């Protein structure tokens, strides 16, 4: 899909107030698209965390809507494409209720958690995996029934806007305690992906016939051990790395305590166990089909100003 033809094309972005949306909306505007940005919150609240320097564009229209109540999605009328950055399983019911009648191209986000959490014993994580699997199947089925070309992205750990709960949780621990607990040797491999590389991938996929009806694992441009990832975050925060070996059960207990807080309710002992797991995924197919070339790990440790 291109912006050529009569007038600018319109793209719906659901989950627009997310860290990927932070980079995607300006990219879409720069590419000449008109954007309908959807959040459950009013625009001022949705974009408050984006900071004062975030470029607000005249071509972006914000709509307040909850995808769990899919009836009446008139805000998508006339749109050519849809980029879904929210929870994947919410999308198929919206498509099935006729919420994308004019849409011919769609990009949606799943997660490599579908694979990395597949053997988790934690009920919340098992539910997440089931939702991701059902979401992937539902996306293909709903799009096929409506002649919509779909592309599914499965990112690894996302960071880069200072709005994530991956790098920024580690930053918060470093700033508060000056040390970071490590289970075992912390040798499990990671491949964090910058949110702006995912935003660029969305725009590139819209213009890539090869990516229609295909799923891609989108990993970052560098593979590094968990302890090296944390050490880099220390350095980016202006601190010398201080990693303290701690038994898995102690980290698990700390995570359980944190999970009592609403913001961290998905934290659990499985996260401590996974420090030793490798979470590495090839993005070669994305490079081949739409030129995906993610950057190496460059941690961002400040929220947008």
Ligand X SMILES: NC(=O)c1ccc[n+]([C@@H]2O[C@H](COP(=O)([O-])OP(=O)(O)OC[C@H]3O[C@@H](n4cnc5c(N)ncnc54)[C@H](OP(=O)(O)O)[C@@H]3O)[C@@H](O)[C@H]2O)c1
Residues engaged in binding ligand X (CB under 6 A): 14-15, 17-20, 39-41, 46, 66-68, 85-88, 90, 109, 111, 155, 157-158, 164, 166
Pick the closer one to ligand X by CB: 86 or 186: 86
CB of 240 to ligand X, least distance (A): 27
CB of 245 to ligand X, least distance (A): 25
Contact (Cβ atoms closer than 8 angstroms) between residue 105 and residue 152: no
Pick the closer one to ligand X by CB: 15 or 181: 15
Question: What whole-number distance in Å separates Cα of residue 240 and Cα of residue 246?
Answer: 19
Q: Which two tokens stand for residue 286?
A: 């994305």
Pick the closer one to ligand X by CB: 158 or 269: 158
Pick the closer one to ligand X by CB: 16 or 148: 16
CB of 294 to ligand X, least distance (A): 13
Contact (Cβ atoms closer than 8 angstroms) between residue 241 and residue 231: yes
Pick the closer one to ligand X by CB: 10 or 39: 39
CB of 211 to ligand X, least distance (A): 17
Pick the closer one to ligand X by CB: 9 or 114: 114
CB of 112 to ligand X, least distance (A): 6
Q: How many Å from the N-terminal Cα to the C-terminal Cα in the chain?
A: 34
CB of 229 to ligand X, least distance (A): 13
Pick the closer one to ligand X by CB: 178 or 296: 296
CB of 86 to ligand X, least distance (A): 3
Pick the closer one to ligand X by CB: 98 or 245: 98
* Helix, strand, coil percentages, rounded to 5, for the chain: 40, 15, 45
CB of 252 to ligand X, least distance (A): 20
């Amino acid at each position: 899909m291109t912006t050529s033809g009569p007038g600018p094309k319109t793209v719906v972005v659901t989950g627009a107030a997310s860290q990927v949306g932070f980079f995607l909306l300006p990219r879409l505007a720069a590419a000449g698209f008109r954007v309908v940005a959807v959040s459950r919150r009013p625009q001022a609240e949705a974009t408050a965390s984006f900071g004062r320097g975030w470029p607000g564009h005249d071509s972006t229209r914000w709509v307040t809507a909850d995808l769990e109540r899919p009836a009446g999605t008139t805000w998508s009328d006339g749109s050519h494409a849809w980029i879904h950055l929210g929870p994947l399983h919410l999308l198929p019911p919206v498509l099935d209720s006729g919420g994308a009648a004019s849409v011919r191209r769609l990009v949606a986000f799943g997660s490599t958690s579908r694979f990395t959490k597949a053997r988790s014993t934690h009920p919340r994580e098992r539910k997440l995996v089931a939702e991701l699997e059902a979401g992937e199947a539902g996306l293909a089925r709903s799009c096929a029934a409506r002649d919509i070309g779909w592309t599914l992205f499965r990112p690894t750990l996302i960071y880069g806007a200072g709005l994530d709960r991956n790098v920024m949780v580690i930053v918060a621990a470093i700033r508060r305690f000056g040390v970071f607990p490590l289970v075992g040797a912390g040798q499990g491999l990671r491949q964090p992906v910058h949110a702006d590389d995912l935003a660029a991938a969305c725009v590139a996929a819209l213009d890539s016939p090869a990516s229609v009806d295909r799923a891609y694992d989108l990993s970052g441009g560098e593979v590094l051990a968990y302890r090296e990832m944390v050490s880099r975050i220390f350095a980016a925060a202006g601190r010398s790395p201080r990693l303290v070996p701690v038994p898995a059960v102690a980290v698990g207990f700390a995570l359980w305590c944190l999970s009592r807080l609403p913001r961290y309710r998905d934290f659990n002992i499985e996260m401590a166990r996974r420090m030793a797991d490798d979470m590495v995924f090839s993005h070669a197919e994305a490079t081949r089909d739409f030129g995906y070339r993610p950057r190496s790990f460059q941690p961002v440790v400040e929220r947008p100003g």
